[in-house]
Protein backbone atom coordinates (compact mmCIF):
# COMPACT_ATOMS: atom_id res chain seq x y z
CA UNK A 1 0.00 0.00 0.00
CA UNK A 2 2.87 2.37 0.79
CA UNK A 3 4.34 1.80 -2.67
CA UNK A 4 0.99 2.51 -4.32
CA UNK A 5 0.47 5.65 -2.24
CA UNK A 6 3.94 6.92 -3.12
CA UNK A 7 3.40 6.33 -6.83
CA UNK A 8 0.04 8.14 -6.64
CA UNK A 9 1.57 11.17 -4.93
CA UNK A 10 4.35 11.29 -7.49
CA UNK A 11 1.87 11.21 -10.37
CA UNK A 12 -0.26 13.89 -8.71
CA UNK A 13 2.79 16.11 -8.25
CA UNK A 14 3.72 15.81 -11.91
CA UNK A 15 0.13 16.60 -12.95
CA UNK A 16 0.12 19.89 -11.05
CA UNK A 17 3.53 21.06 -12.25
CA UNK A 18 3.83 22.76 -15.60
CA UNK A 19 6.62 20.48 -16.75
CA UNK A 20 7.77 20.71 -20.35
CA UNK A 21 8.87 17.69 -22.32
CA UNK A 22 10.52 18.66 -25.62
CA UNK A 23 9.85 16.57 -28.68
CA UNK A 24 12.84 14.81 -30.22
CA UNK A 25 13.37 17.14 -33.18
CA UNK A 26 10.43 17.42 -35.54
CA UNK A 27 9.05 13.88 -35.49
CA UNK A 28 5.94 13.11 -37.44
CA UNK A 29 2.87 13.14 -35.19
CA UNK A 30 1.03 9.84 -34.77
CA UNK A 31 -2.18 9.66 -36.77
CA UNK A 32 -5.52 8.76 -35.20
CA UNK A 33 -9.19 8.36 -36.09
CA UNK A 34 -11.73 8.86 -33.30
CA UNK A 35 -15.43 9.61 -32.95
CA UNK A 36 -16.25 12.90 -31.24
CA UNK A 37 -19.17 13.70 -28.95
CA UNK A 38 -21.27 14.66 -31.99
CA UNK A 39 -20.75 11.28 -33.66
CA UNK A 40 -18.34 12.65 -36.27
CA UNK A 41 -15.07 10.95 -37.18
CA UNK A 42 -12.02 13.12 -36.57
CA UNK A 43 -8.42 12.36 -37.51
CA UNK A 44 -5.09 14.13 -37.57
CA UNK A 45 -5.52 14.80 -41.27
CA UNK A 46 -8.74 16.69 -40.48
CA UNK A 47 -6.59 19.48 -39.05
CA UNK A 48 -3.91 19.71 -41.75
CA UNK A 49 -2.99 23.25 -42.72
CA UNK A 50 -3.33 24.70 -39.21
CA UNK A 51 -1.60 24.24 -35.90
CA UNK A 52 -3.28 21.66 -33.68
CA UNK A 53 -3.10 21.41 -29.90
CA UNK A 54 -4.09 18.01 -28.48
CA UNK A 55 -5.29 18.09 -24.88
CA UNK A 56 -5.14 14.69 -23.14
CA UNK A 57 -7.45 14.71 -20.12
CA UNK A 58 -10.01 12.82 -18.01
CA UNK A 59 -13.25 14.14 -16.52
CA UNK A 60 -12.17 13.14 -12.98
CA UNK A 61 -8.86 15.03 -13.23
CA UNK A 62 -8.93 18.34 -11.31
CA UNK A 63 -5.77 19.79 -12.93
CA UNK A 64 -7.34 18.98 -16.32
CA UNK A 65 -10.27 21.26 -15.49
CA UNK A 66 -7.83 24.07 -14.73
CA UNK A 67 -6.06 23.40 -18.03
CA UNK A 68 -9.37 23.79 -19.87
CA UNK A 69 -9.63 27.35 -18.55
CA UNK A 70 -6.20 28.22 -19.97
CA UNK A 71 -7.12 26.60 -23.28
CA UNK A 72 -10.34 28.62 -23.49
CA UNK A 73 -8.35 31.83 -23.04
CA UNK A 74 -5.95 30.71 -25.76
CA UNK A 75 -8.65 29.58 -28.18
CA UNK A 76 -10.65 32.79 -27.82
CA UNK A 77 -7.65 34.67 -29.21
CA UNK A 78 -6.17 32.22 -31.73
CA UNK A 79 -9.01 30.07 -33.09
CA UNK A 80 -8.38 31.49 -36.57
CA UNK A 81 -4.89 29.93 -36.61
CA UNK A 82 -5.09 27.17 -34.01
CA UNK A 83 -7.29 24.10 -33.61
CA UNK A 84 -7.74 22.26 -30.32
CA UNK A 85 -8.99 18.75 -29.67
CA UNK A 86 -9.46 17.29 -26.20
CA UNK A 87 -9.04 13.52 -25.98
CA UNK A 88 -10.36 11.70 -22.89
CA UNK A 89 -7.79 8.99 -22.22
CA UNK A 90 -9.89 6.93 -19.79
CA UNK A 91 -12.60 5.11 -21.80
CA UNK A 92 -13.09 2.74 -18.85
CA UNK A 93 -14.25 5.41 -16.37
CA UNK A 94 -15.55 7.96 -18.87
CA UNK A 95 -18.33 7.42 -21.40
CA UNK A 96 -19.32 9.55 -24.37
CA UNK A 97 -22.18 10.97 -22.29
CA UNK A 98 -19.68 11.94 -19.57
CA UNK A 99 -17.72 13.88 -22.17
CA UNK A 100 -20.87 15.57 -23.47
CA UNK A 101 -21.72 16.76 -19.96
CA UNK A 102 -18.11 17.80 -19.30
CA UNK A 103 -18.02 19.81 -22.53
CA UNK A 104 -21.25 21.59 -21.56
CA UNK A 105 -20.14 22.19 -17.97
CA UNK A 106 -16.92 23.97 -18.96
CA UNK A 107 -18.24 25.66 -22.10
CA UNK A 108 -15.79 23.89 -24.43
CA UNK A 109 -16.32 24.99 -28.03
CA UNK A 110 -13.81 22.68 -29.72
CA UNK A 111 -13.84 18.97 -30.51
CA UNK A 112 -13.94 16.51 -27.60
CA UNK A 113 -13.52 12.77 -28.13
CA UNK A 114 -12.89 9.55 -26.24
CA UNK A 115 -9.60 7.70 -26.71
CA UNK A 116 -10.78 4.34 -28.01
CA UNK A 117 -7.61 3.73 -30.04
CA UNK A 118 -4.95 4.26 -27.34
CA UNK A 119 -3.82 7.57 -28.83
CA UNK A 120 -2.45 8.52 -25.41
CA UNK A 121 -0.03 5.60 -25.60
CA UNK A 122 1.07 6.65 -29.10
CA UNK A 123 1.90 10.10 -27.72
CA UNK A 124 3.60 8.64 -24.62
CA UNK A 125 1.20 10.25 -22.16
CA UNK A 126 2.30 9.39 -18.61
CA UNK A 127 0.39 12.07 -16.66
CA UNK A 128 -2.56 14.33 -17.28
CA UNK A 129 -3.12 16.94 -18.41
CA UNK A 130 -0.67 16.60 -21.29
CA UNK A 131 -0.60 18.90 -24.30
CA UNK A 132 0.91 18.08 -27.70
CA UNK A 133 1.45 20.82 -30.30
CA UNK A 134 1.45 19.77 -33.97
CA UNK A 135 2.37 22.08 -36.84
CA UNK A 136 0.46 22.40 -40.16
CA UNK A 137 2.77 19.82 -41.76
CA UNK A 138 1.91 17.19 -39.16
CA UNK A 139 5.13 17.47 -37.14
CA UNK A 140 5.16 17.14 -33.36
CA UNK A 141 6.61 20.45 -32.20
CA UNK A 142 6.39 20.31 -28.40
CA UNK A 143 4.80 18.39 -25.55
CA UNK A 144 3.88 19.86 -22.17
CA UNK A 145 3.16 17.73 -19.09
CA UNK A 146 1.04 19.28 -16.36
CA UNK A 147 -1.04 22.46 -16.22
CA UNK A 148 0.42 24.86 -18.78
CA UNK A 149 -0.44 28.54 -19.16
CA UNK A 150 -1.40 29.93 -22.55
CA UNK A 151 1.65 32.23 -22.61
CA UNK A 152 3.99 29.20 -22.68
CA UNK A 153 2.12 27.76 -25.66
CA UNK A 154 2.15 31.05 -27.57
CA UNK A 155 5.95 31.10 -27.36
CA UNK A 156 6.02 28.02 -29.61
CA UNK A 157 3.71 29.56 -32.23
CA UNK A 158 4.91 31.70 -35.18
CA UNK A 159 1.91 34.01 -34.89
CA UNK A 160 0.59 36.23 -32.11
CA UNK A 161 -2.81 37.31 -30.89
CA UNK A 162 -4.38 40.45 -32.40
CA UNK A 163 -3.27 42.40 -29.34
CA UNK A 164 0.15 40.63 -29.34
CA UNK A 165 -0.45 39.47 -25.76
CA UNK A 166 -2.92 37.23 -23.99
CA UNK A 167 -4.89 38.36 -20.93
CA UNK A 168 -2.64 38.59 -17.89
CA UNK A 169 -5.36 38.44 -15.27
CA UNK A 170 -5.44 35.27 -13.14
CA UNK A 171 -7.89 32.62 -14.34
CA UNK A 172 -10.74 31.47 -12.13
CA UNK A 173 -11.09 27.79 -11.37
CA UNK A 174 -14.53 26.12 -11.61
CA UNK A 175 -14.96 26.51 -7.85
CA UNK A 176 -14.25 30.24 -8.05
CA UNK A 177 -10.77 30.18 -6.53
CA UNK A 178 -7.87 31.99 -8.16
CA UNK A 179 -4.80 29.86 -8.97
CA UNK A 180 -1.37 31.40 -8.53
CA UNK A 181 0.26 32.60 -11.74
CA UNK A 182 3.11 30.37 -12.90
CA UNK A 183 6.10 32.52 -13.85
CA UNK A 184 9.35 31.21 -15.25
CA UNK A 185 10.75 30.99 -11.72
CA UNK A 186 7.73 29.00 -10.59
CA UNK A 187 8.25 26.56 -13.46
CA UNK A 188 11.77 25.96 -12.19
CA UNK A 189 10.44 25.55 -8.67
CA UNK A 190 7.86 23.06 -9.90
CA UNK A 191 10.60 21.06 -11.58
CA UNK A 192 12.57 21.04 -8.33
CA UNK A 193 9.50 19.80 -6.44
CA UNK A 194 9.14 16.96 -8.93
CA UNK A 195 12.80 15.99 -8.42
CA UNK A 196 12.33 16.01 -4.65
CA UNK A 197 9.25 13.79 -4.99
CA UNK A 198 11.19 11.31 -7.12
CA UNK A 199 14.04 11.19 -4.59
CA UNK A 200 11.58 10.80 -1.72
CA UNK A 201 9.86 7.95 -3.53
CA UNK A 202 13.20 6.21 -4.07
CA UNK A 203 14.12 6.58 -0.39
CA UNK A 204 10.77 5.20 0.79
CA UNK A 205 11.01 2.24 -1.56
CA UNK A 206 14.56 1.53 -0.36
CA UNK A 207 13.43 1.53 3.27
CA UNK A 208 10.59 -0.87 2.48
CA UNK A 209 12.95 -3.25 0.65
CA UNK A 210 15.50 -3.16 3.47
CA UNK A 211 12.84 -3.89 6.10
CA UNK A 212 11.57 -6.85 4.11
CA UNK A 213 15.08 -8.24 3.73
CA UNK A 214 15.67 -7.83 7.47
CA UNK A 215 12.50 -9.80 8.26
CA UNK A 216 13.49 -12.56 5.83
CA UNK A 217 16.98 -12.95 7.31
CA UNK A 218 15.76 -12.84 10.91
CA UNK A 219 12.97 -15.41 10.45
CA UNK A 220 15.24 -18.53 10.23
CA UNK A 221 17.10 -17.45 13.36
CA UNK A 222 13.89 -17.39 15.35
CA UNK A 223 13.07 -20.86 14.06
CA UNK A 224 16.40 -22.38 15.22
CA UNK A 225 16.05 -20.83 18.68
Whole-number pLDDT of residue 177: 36
How many angstroms from the chain centroid is the CA of residue 53?
A: 12
Whether this model's pTM surpasses 0.75: no
Q: Where are the domains of the chain?
A: 1-18+184-225, 19-181
The CATH number of domain 19-181, selected from 3.40.30.10, 3.90.226.10, 3.90.230.10, 3.70.10.10? 3.40.30.10
Is-contact 105 2, C-beta < 8 A? no
Q: Per residue of the chain (225 residues), what is the pLDDT tens digit?
A: 433 333 333 344 444 444 444 444 568 999 999 999 999 999 998 898 899 999 999 999 999 999 999 999 999 999 999 999 999 999 999 999 999 999 999 999 999 999 999 999 999 999 999 999 999 999 999 999 999 999 999 999 997 654 544 554 444 444 433 333 333 444 444 444 444 554 455 545 554 545 555 555 555 554 444
Across 93-129, b (16+ Cβ under 10 Å) vs e yields ebebebbeebbeebebebbbbbbebebbeebebebbb
Amino acid sequence: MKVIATAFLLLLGISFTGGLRPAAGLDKAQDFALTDTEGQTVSLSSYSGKYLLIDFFATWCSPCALQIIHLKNLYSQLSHNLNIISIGIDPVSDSNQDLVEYKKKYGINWTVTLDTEHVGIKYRVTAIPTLALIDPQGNLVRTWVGVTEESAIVQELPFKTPSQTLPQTPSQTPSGTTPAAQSGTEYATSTMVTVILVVAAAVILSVIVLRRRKRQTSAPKRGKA
